[in-house]
Amino acid sequence: MVKRIRSHIVAAGLLMLLSACNFAVESTTPTPTPEPTLTPSSTPTASPTVTPSVTPSPTPDWTATPTATPTITLTPSMTPLPSATPHPEIAYSNDQWTTVSIPPELQDGLDRPWYAILSVNERTGGSTNPETPIPESEEQTLYLVDPATAEKIAILDLPATVQDRVYWAPDGNKLLYFLEPTFTDGGTQQGGLYLLNLGVQISLRVFNLPSLDPRGIGDHRPVWSPDSSQFAIALPTAYAVDIYTVSADGSRFSNLTSHGAYDLWPAWSPDGRRLAFVSDRRECPTYAPGEEGTCAGREQVLPGDEPADGKAFPGGNLFVLDIETGEVQQVSDMWVDGAPRWVSNLQVTFTTGLSDPFSAESQIWLANIQSGTVRQISDPDDSLNLSVAWSPDGQRALYHRVSEPASLILKDSNGGVIAASDRHLFSRFGFAAAWSPGGEWVAFAGRNNQCPYGLIVARSDLAIAYGPPASPQACDPSYSPDGRWLAYAGILTRPGVDDGRLDLYIAQPSGYGARNVTSSLRGDIRLLGWVGPGSES
């Protein structure tokens, strides 16, 4: 039976439990609520010992049937909006504490990789016929699936509006999730970014945020450090955007960049020593009105327009922050308009030309933070190159060339062509690839529910070793961190057996032996990815 979040009144008994656990509650004396300043103090943790009867505040009921209560509707802008009006200050919330009943086998963390999924509008009664209309319960259930046995363990129920905004820590013992701002039946405002600790079975709100995209700049999410001790997140300040870190036990909330510019898209290096991000600080040192060099009155550039300075907005240059020393290094003068990603501890990859979703040109680059060099990996022409997947050793890159001649291209880290194939053609933004941890296999398929083929598995030289079979159609492949399993989204299309629904399939690393492990569920499936030892954030 699905374990639901229930309201929790924090009392002395819970305090004794938490004092030995991750949340670092150290006394029975009420701690003052964190001050709403731009740079919160280093120890903002609020003590949960204040008696609720003093100020009654109903906690959210995640499982309640939606009613006609007031709802905050937010439509993020496509472009950032500098304004003379300061943005509301973001403070560490540490409120809306609730208990969550976690199965005993998960309370001590995960000892092996599991796969996380969401089942939306699960049918729990009546007909099990897949053709039966799905009830509009507006709810989804978070599951962990054992790849070896197909055992499914329900974690908690969430509103369907959460979509796939669930972010597991690599150790599998903590997760973040984002709730859209709403009001409960009792009139309490809920919503924002929440943290669930499976070990202590407590969920709390970390930030009261209207959106994860600061100032409407898309493609943002909180990112966990490789050791799961903290996460980084981009938050709006009064006039700009800074990158903050929050420790997993809530004891530290720090502004890492503290700059008047827009600091965007944080990404941890594999060893956790550095944080890459994109900043426009050289172009716009501040957005505060009246300050020297301010960009407060800067004309906005919509995607597709040609700005006079040649720089599409939002974006900036690539920077790297050393976590231990606080030193910030600019990697190159190139204008970057998308999220960077680490290939190794010294190499960062990024794709330019994606701020305009209708662009006909984009290029893939590889930067070395030690030498300060940036190398173009895709061909130096006016082509559209997307969805690059790097091998674990950072020596090979497989990407989708959408422009004619359309093809899949495998290159080395110097930009040299290893192999190319026009045998399988994918739609724009409809290609996904994943390398096995050892680099001997690369699996590729569709993306964004555009699944024209079955699963395809190739060797490291792009020689096809498996697929595509007649069914199911496949999307979003990914290897488990230990290399034992290959997961992907499959859609059955054979006459008489298809239900048009996406399911989770688990196969051997070569692609053989695939089996449907979610056929017993009666809801729409959303894939979140691998969770547990060795998983990336």
The pLDDT of 190-206, averaged and rounded, is: 94
Of 113, 124, 132, nearest in space to 478 by CA: 113
78-91 pLDDT, tens digit each: 445 555 678 887 88
The pLDDT assigned to 33 comes to 40
The answer to whether domain 211-376 and domain 384-537 are alike in fold is yes
375-434 pLDDT, tens digit each: 999 999 999 999 999 999 999 999 999 999 999 999 999 999 999 999 999 999 999 999
Q: Residue for token digits 């560490």?
A: 92
Neighbouring-strand partners of residue 117: 143, 527
pLDDT at residue 126 above 70? no
Decide: helix, strand or coil at residue 105: helix
* Structure tokens given for 328: 């910030």
Domain ranges (residues) in the chain: 1-26+84-115+148-208, 211-376, 384-537
Is 250 within 8 Å of 23 (Cβ atoms)? yes
Could you write out the DSSP letters of every residue in 205-270? Answer: EEE--S-SSGGG--S---EE-TTSSEEEEEEE-SSSEEEEEEETTSS-EEESS--SSBEEEEEE-T
pLDDT at residue 48 above 60? no
Q: Which fold has domain 384-537?
A: Neuraminidase (2.120.10)
The pLDDT assigned to 241 comes to 96
Of 340, 388, 123, 83, nearest in space to 237 by CA: 83
Is 457 within 8 Å of 511 (Cβ atoms)? yes
Of 294, 202, 180, 279, nearest in space to 248 by CA: 202
Q: CA 422 → CA 419, 462, 470, 473, distances in Å?
A: 11, 12, 20, 19
Decide: helix, strand or coil at residue 439: coil
Q: Which fold has domain 211-376?
A: Neuraminidase (2.120.10)
53-81 pLDDT, tens digit each: 333 333 333 433 333 333 333 333 344 55
Decide: helix, strand or coil at residue 215: helix
The pLDDT of 298-316, averaged and rounded, is: 56
> Looking at 257-266, 340-349, 463-472, which range is the least confident one?
463-472
The pLDDT assigned to 497 comes to 52
Confidence bin at 195 (pLDDT 50/70/90): very high
- List, edge to edge, every strand of the sheet that includes 417-421: 385-390, 396-401, 407-412, 417-421
The pLDDT of 209-224, averaged and rounded, is: 94
**C-alpha torsion sign, points 422, 426, 431, 437:** negative
Q: Give the separation between CA 197 and CA 20, rounded to whole angstroms.
A: 13
* Structure tokens given for 152: 């499914």
